[in-house]
Amino acid sequence: MEILMSIVVGILFTSAVYLILSKSLLRVIIGTALLSHGAHLLLLTMSGLKRGAAPVLMDDITSYADPLPQALVLTAIVISFGVTAFFLVLAYRAYQELGTDNMEEMKGNEPND
Amino acid sequence: MSLLHLAIVLPFIAAVFVPFLFKGFRSVHTGWFVLLVPLALFIYFIQYMPVTSSGQTVSQTFEWIPSLGINFTAYVDGLGLLFALLITGIGSLVVLYSIYYLAKEKEALHNFYVYLLMFMGAMLGVVLSDNLIVLYMFWEFTSISSFLLIGYWYDKERSRYGAQKSMLITVFGGLSMLGGIVLLYLMSGTFSIRELIGMSDQLMADPLFIMAMLLVLLGAFTKSAQFPFHVWLPDAMEAPTPVSAYLHSATMVKAGIYLVARMSPIFAESGVWLWLVAGFGIFTLFWGSFNAVKQTDLKGILAYSTVSQLGLIMSLLGLGAAALHFDTLDDNMYMTATIAAVFHLINHATFKGSLFMMAGIVDHETGTRDIRKLGGLVNLMPITFTIAIIGSFSMAGLPPFNGFLSKEMFLTGMISVFELDLFNLNTWGILFPVLAWIASVFTFIYSIKLVFKTFLGKPQFDKLPKKPHEAPIGMLISPLILVSLVILFGFFPNLLANSMIKPAVESILPSLTDAGQEVYVNIYFWHGFTPELFMTLGIILTGIIMYATLAKWQGIYNRIPERFTINGVYDNGLEKGESGSFRLNEFIMTGYMRSYLIYIFAFFVAILLSTLGVRDAFAIDTSNLAEIRIYEVVLALVLVAGAITILFAKSRLTSIVLLGVVGYSVALFFVFFRAPDLALTQLVIETVSVALFLLCFYHLPEISRKEERMKFKIGNAVISILVGITVTLIGIASYSNQSFESISQYHIDNVYDLAAGGNMVNVILVDFRGFDTLFEICVLGIAALGIYAMVNFRGVRRQKG
């Protein structure tokens, strides 16, 4: 299962990187969202999958799933949501101010000679 | 801090007061106040003469950074004292001269004297420091103050060019020297020159020895304008003439000579040293004198002449190293070379200083330094003419001036290479006397040209910008003192022999004198019908003939195209370097996010994959895997299909919905993987995120609303596939290489007993690792405030509107 999940994560990363390299700002943000999904799944996978019950204390169960990576992923989900929300509003403001969502057109015109 | 230390830093302290004196006493030329400093120092250093001439040395230590072995150790021996006297003595004369040369109404004197004092202190520090790091510090101070002095008239383009050039070249050498110092420290564990000298045998065997020697020599050669680093010196002539006289003839350019002499006891046993120092020296001698003849500017001639004379001293120091290979001093001819080097060092400082001052007077009184416009000044400026003729004849090596004596000793030293069967000198050594002789002929020619073209010949006063007349007496005092020294040392060279030259030579060759032998310095005019005498006669004859026919062979100077000269190489190199880095920058820094991301991802892939390959780290371990069930495979397929279809989605709406599909599949995976809290959070957050995405989608600008599929780009595809493969490989490899158990058992065991909770994830979040949660809350708070600010504060647009 872990190998299968590694491959799934690899495919998520591939799509995410391809989207991040695209021109449209919205697609870039979709790419980062995909990338964080991949990272969260990878975190969970690397600690081993399905080693026991859900990590909620119950009588006569001795084997639980590892709770530590779950706590880490939970933190990561919230943070990536905060950042994504910020990015989205930033992109929305950029549309409003610049009138474009094309990254190639967002090149500052520096006065280099 | 002893009196000696105070003496070294006195110029720095005095420099602080110069601007106040300049502003406070506008009616008095600031130079008069400054003059007191070098005079006092000169008198102070004279007192050390009895000490050093009796073979004693003085050493005072002031602790600076003792934990690193960096202490300001002032050390006075024969060599250091000789230089200190040159620096303060000529410094006094130059300050006196500058008082008459620079007008107090027009010039920024407060700048000038601050720089000059800074330079003087730095130079004293260089020659009187025993610690190499302190020496290096003062060394760079000389570079900086020289830069400031060359660029004194900073509104002139040539001044700025010359200052920049000298800065680049000497700082390049200075940094190389620092590298050499560090290598010496690595080899020996000390920065003290005297301790290094004691360890020279041990250093010789070290593999870093040659490298250290080359780096130190690079520093010395750039500072002392040796070929091919001499190019900065002629351009440094844009400085005011007192500066040229002081820095670029008598003191700073001799810092490299000093360094070579000072480090001789450490390096000189090696044959590489002899060949490098003597070889570069003799070639510089030839090249400088050859090029001096074609110059038309008085200071240009003197600059190339300085280059050439520095080469002469350098080659003598190199040959003097051969003396170390003999046990006795009685029949040691190479001793002569070192004595000649020290003697010529003094002589050069006297006659070159006076010649520069002469050039300054001519410039000051006629308005030009171009010898094509000058001529026939002898009747108008008889005193200046006398100074010029004494200085030039001494430079050309004519009797009865001091230049003659040192030139004879130089030829003796050069001829003596024949008798040496070390380091192939008996075969290739023939180059030394031959080049020396040719160079002396050219020296004769330019010395004669310097005087005759300026003072004799047809007067052409109508071409001069000013009506020429004799200089004021104040301006003539300094050069007159210098030329009287030229004559004095010429007639009574033994005045210097025991007081100055002998202790200096003993410092350069300490191993010989330590063995209880004494250096006999005896300089005299007439030594019989020796080969040197005939060589001198040949020089004079050939020189006169070639000077007479100068017009016929002058054409050879134009044969070398500008590109192949060293100046051309320097200018081209600088220009190519600048335009090259500009183009490289333009090429890499495109301004598109996409390029930068490609660099980042490409390096990420390259580094990780190569590490996997080099370390042979990839492994698959299937023993510890969880089993796969069919609905998990189906879910994985849905997720993958969603992720890949986003790439081909034409409309943005589809992509957003597909992203939602991926997010909900992830939430389902969390359910399968026994993570209920995660699943809950993921569902909620995915919903909110999709809503936000739809908001953005709705507000897309009209113009670019026309939907289009992403264009396929092969580069992007390759990079992203490689990234995916890398992540997969790393994931599999790291899962297969688990080296220790998780620490989670502690959390599982203690979640109820210590934290009174049943939900382990929540207890970890708020109890075991509550700090993470605190700052995660901060992140959300900042994001919320940031979004609020972005939406509400639109200052710029409003002001514009």
Please state the domain extents for chain A. Answer: 1-51+65-98
Check whether A113 has a pLDDT greater than 50.
no
8 Å CB contact of B720 and A21:
yes
Chain B: nearest CA to A96, how far in angstroms? Answer: 7
Check whether B491 has a pLDDT greater than 90.
no
Residues whose CB falls within 8 Å of the CB of residue B460, separated by 6 or more in sequence, listed in order: B373, B374, B375, B376
Q: Are B318 and B362 within one domain?
A: yes
pLDDT at B713: 83
The arithmetic mean of pLDDT across residues B623-627, rounded, is: 81
B547 domain residue, yes or no: yes
What residue has token string 């310097």?
B450
Which of B72-76, B550-554, B584-588 is the least confident region?
A: B550-554
The CA R_g of chain B, rounded to the nearest whole Å, is 38
CB distance from B659 to chain A under 8 Å?
Answer: yes
- DSSP per residue over B173-206, as a string? HHHHHHHHHHHHHHHHS--BHHHHHHTHHHHHTS
Task: Kindly indicate the confidence band of residue B517, based on its pLDDT and cuts at 50, 70 and 90.
Answer: low
Report the distance separating Cα B669 and Cα B636, nearest Å: 8
B347 domain residue, yes or no: yes
B51 domain residue, yes or no: no
Is residue B393 classed exposed, middle or buried when 0-12, 13-18 and 19+ CB atoms within 10 A define those classes? buried
Q: What percent of chain B has pLDDT over 90?
A: 37
Q: Are B317 and B418 within one domain?
A: yes
B489 domain residue, yes or no: yes
Report the distance separating Cα B288 and Cα B303, nearest Å: 9
Which of A34-48, B20-34, B694-708 is the least confident region?
A: B694-708
B90 domain residue, yes or no: no
- DSSP per residue over B110-133, as a string? HHHHHHHHHHHHHHHHHHHB-BHH
Q: Are B701 and B658 within one domain?
A: yes
CA B168 and chain centroid, separation = 6
Report the distance separating Cα B248 and Cα B238, nearest Å: 11
Task: Kindly indicate the confidence band of residue B720, based on its pLDDT and cuts at 50, 70 and 90.
Answer: very high
Q: Which chain B residues in 668-697 lie under 8 Å from chain A, judged by CB atoms? A: 669-670, 672-678, 681-682, 685, 688-689, 692-693, 695-697
DSSP-based three-state secondary structure for A53:
strand
CB distance from B646 to chain A under 8 Å?
Answer: yes
8 Å CB contact of A42 and B743:
no
- DSSP per residue over B561-578, as a string? -GGGSHHHHHHHHHHHHH
Tens digit of each residue's pLDDT (9 = 90 or more) over B155-165: 999 999 999 99
Report the distance separating Cα A54 and Cα B671, nearest Å: 9
Check whether B801 has a pLDDT greater than 50.
no
8 Å CB contact of A70 and B678:
yes
The neighbour count for residue B781, using CB atoms within 10 Å, is: 12
Phi-psi region of B509 (alpha: psi -120 to 50; beta: other; left: phi over 0): beta
Per the structure block, which two tokens stand in for B776? Answer: 């995660």
Which CATH code is given to the segment(s) A1-51+65-98?
Answer: 1.10.287
Helical pair B209-223 and B157-188, crossing angle rounded to 10 deg: 160
Chain A: nearest CA to B639, how far in angstroms? Answer: 8
pTM: 0.82
8 Å CB contact of B689 and A81:
yes
Check whether A4 has a pLDDT greater than 50.
yes
Q: What percent of chain B has pLDDT over 70?
A: 92
Residues whose CB falls within 8 Å of the CB of residue B337, separated by 6 or more in sequence, listed in order: B316, B317, B319, B320, B322, B323, B409, B413, B416
CB B501 within 8 A of CB B339: yes
Check whether B143 has a pLDDT greater than 90.
yes
Q: Are B762 and B708 within one domain?
A: no
Of B591, B644, B655, nearest to A27 by CB-CB distance is B655
CB pairs under 8 A between A and B: 277
The arithmetic mean of pLDDT across residues B244-262, rounded, is: 89
Q: Are B793 and B671 within one domain?
A: no
CB B92 within 8 A of CB B42: yes
Chain A CB contacts of B704 below 8 Å: 100-102
pLDDT at B176: 95
Chain B: nearest CA to A7, how far in angstroms? Answer: 5
Say which amino acid occupies B795.
G
Chain A: nearest CA to B159, how far in angstroms? Answer: 26
State the virtual CA torsion across B442, B445, B449, B451 in degrees, nearest 10: 110
What residue has token string 């890398």?
B726
Report the distance separating Cα B628 and Cα B394, nearest Å: 99
B145 domain residue, yes or no: no
Check whether B152 has a pLDDT greater than 70.
yes
Per the structure block, which two tokens stand in for B199? Answer: 């360890």
Which range has highest mean pLDDT (A30-39, B330-339, B369-378)?
A30-39
> What domain count does chain B have?
4
Check whether B18 has a pLDDT greater than 80.
yes
Task: Kindly indicate the confidence band of residue B552, based on its pLDDT and cuts at 50, 70 and 90.
Answer: confident
More confident residue, B774 or B591: B774
Q: Which chain B residues in 290-329 lie under 8 Å from chain A, judged by CB atoms? A: none
Check whether A102 has a pLDDT greater than 50.
yes
Quick one: DSSP state of residue B745? H
Chain B CB contacts of A100 below 8 Å: 701, 703-704
8 Å CB contact of A95 and B696:
yes
The neighbour count for residue B734, using CB atoms within 10 Å, is: 14
Check whether B424 has a pLDDT greater than 80.
no
The arithmetic mean of pLDDT across residues A45-58, rounded, is: 83
- DSSP per residue over A77-103, as a string? HHHHHHHHHHHHHHHHHHHHHHS--BG
Mean predicted lDDT score pLDDT of chain B: 86
Chain B CB contacts of A110 below 8 Å: 591
Degrees, nearest 5: CA angle B583-B585-B589: 125
The arithmetic mean of pLDDT across residues B416-426, rounded, is: 65
The neighbour count for residue B352, using CB atoms within 10 Å, is: 26
8 Å CB contact of B779 and A78:
yes
What residue has token string 């959390």?
B747
Chain A CB contacts of B720 below 8 Å: 13-18, 21
Work out the end-to-end distance of chain A between its first and last CA atoms, rounded to an integer number of angstroms. 58
More confident residue, B465 or B527: B465
Per the structure block, which two tokens stand in for B364? Answer: 């000051």
Closest alpha carbon to B473 in B383, B397, B540: B383
Residue B351: its H or E element: helix B334-366
CB B521 within 8 A of CB B339: yes
pLDDT at B800: 45
More confident residue, A74 or B625: A74
The arithmetic mean of pLDDT across residues A65-84, rounded, is: 92
Report the distance separating Cα B273 and Cα B278, nearest Å: 8
User: Which domain, by its residues, includes B736?
Assistant: 593-743
Tens digit of each residue's pLDDT (9 = 90 or more) over B655-687: 889 999 999 999 999 999 889 999 999 999 999
8 Å CB contact of B720 and A15:
yes
8 Å CB contact of B783 and A85:
yes
Report the distance separating Cα B222 and Cα B233, nearest Å: 10
8 Å CB contact of B682 and A77:
yes
A4, A9, A12, A17, best to mutate vs chain B, most B CBs in 10 Å: A17
B114 domain residue, yes or no: no
Per the structure block, which two tokens stand in for B520? Answer: 């006999």
Quick one: DSSP state of residue B246? I
Chain A CB contacts of B713 below 8 Å: 21
Q: Are B356 and B498 within one domain?
A: yes
pLDDT at B494: 79
Q: Are B624 and B657 within one domain?
A: yes
CB B358 within 8 A of CB B475: no
The arithmetic mean of pLDDT across residues B242-271, rounded, is: 88
Check whether B613 has a pLDDT greater than 70.
yes
Q: Are B321 and B436 within one domain?
A: yes
CA B555 and chain centroid, separation = 36
8 Å CB contact of B723 and A17:
yes
CA B143 and chain centroid, separation = 8
Residues whose CB falls within 8 Å of the CB of residue B96, separated by 6 or more in sequence, listed in order: B31, B35, B474, B477, B478
8 Å CB contact of B625 and A108:
no
Say which amino acid occupies B159.
S
Is residue B562 classed exposed, middle or buried when 0-12, 13-18 and 19+ CB atoms within 10 A define those classes? exposed
Which of B459-463, B704-708, B772-776 is the least confident region?
A: B704-708
Of A7, A40, A81, nearest to B728 by CB-CB distance is A7
The arithmetic mean of pLDDT across residues B163-173, rounded, is: 93
Of B626, B640, B747, nearest to A11 by CB-CB distance is B640
The CA R_g of chain A, rounded to the nearest whole Å, is 20
Check whether B127 has a pLDDT greater than 60.
yes
Q: Are B550 and B460 within one domain?
A: yes
Looking at the DSSP assignment, which residues form a beta bridge with residue A24?
A102
8 Å CB contact of B652 and A26:
yes
pLDDT at B275: 84
8 Å CB contact of B731 and A104:
no
Chain B CB contacts of A82 below 8 Å: 779-780, 782-784
Say which amino acid occupies B408.
E
8 Å CB contact of A10 and B727:
yes
Work out the end-to-end distance of chain B between its first and last CA atoms, rounded to an integer number of angstroms. 68
B36 domain residue, yes or no: no
Q: Which chain B residues in 764-793 lie under 8 Å from chain A, judged by CB atoms? A: 764-765, 769, 772-773, 776, 779-780, 782-784, 786-787, 790-791
Of A15, A41, A48, nearest to B647 by CB-CB distance is A15
More confident residue, B751 or B710: B751
Report the distance separating Cα B394 and Cα B403, nearest Å: 4
Q: Are B644 and B660 within one domain?
A: yes
Quick one: DSSP state of residue B416? G
Helical pair B431-455 and B402-415, crossing angle rounded to 10 deg: 160
Q: Are B420 and B503 within one domain?
A: yes
Tens digit of each residue's pLDDT (9 = 90 or more) over B395-409: 988 877 888 888 888
8 Å CB contact of A103 and B593:
yes
Q: Are B547 and B651 within one domain?
A: no
